[in-house]
Amino acid sequence: MKSEITRIKSAIEMLPWECGKTWKVPETFTVVYKGKSLTIFKDFVFDRYTVVPDLKDVVPACIHDFAYLFQKWDDGTSILREEADELLYIYMKNSTDSLTRKLAGIYYKGVRWFGGFSWRKNAQRNKNLLKKPC
């Protein structure tokens, strides 16, 4: 897991954006959590709002943003918000960046306390995408 994530991390590129910065995933990669897989696809663009720009490891934010946005495991079952937040914590705790590791608990509490609005907004967006047109 670590070698694949390290390779991905080094290749994630920053993209210019009017109101800040976005990052783009250079190649598809998969993370596994409690036997469930989540595949983050190539060219997924994320804003990393989950974490502050001072952290060098963007992979935990990428995984978390992807899980919050799509809310589905690869097998089509729903990702629980708690699971998405735990993914952020796990990948921050296992980061090669010491600051990222130290702040994992604080960020986990932050997304647990304040992530509900984004989660519900994305859930509604996903629901609307599945509606059949008139």
Q: Residue range 14-43: average pLDDT?
A: 78
- 63 inside domain: yes
Residue indicated by tokens 């809310």: 71
- 121 inside domain: no
**DSSP letter assigned to residue 30:** E
Q: Reduced to 3 states, what is the DSSP secondary structure of residue 21?
A: strand
Q: How many domains does the chain have?
A: 1
- 130 inside domain: no
Lookup: tokens for 16: 């210019």
The answer to whether 41 and 69 are in contact (CB under 8 A) is no
Q: State which residues form the domain around 107.
A: 2-116
Residue indicated by tokens 């994530």: 5
Confidence of residue 17 (pLDDT cuts 50, 70, 90): very low
- 128 inside domain: no
- 122 inside domain: no
- 127 inside domain: no
- 14 inside domain: yes
- The whole-number pLDDT of residue 11 equals 53
pLDDT tens digits, one per residue of 69-121: 999 999 999 999 999 999 999 999 988 889 889 999 999 999 999 999 999 99
- The whole-number pLDDT of residue 3 equals 45
Q: Residue 55 half-sphere exposure, CB side, CA atoms within 13 Å?
A: 26
Lookup: tokens for 125: 């967006």
- 129 inside domain: no
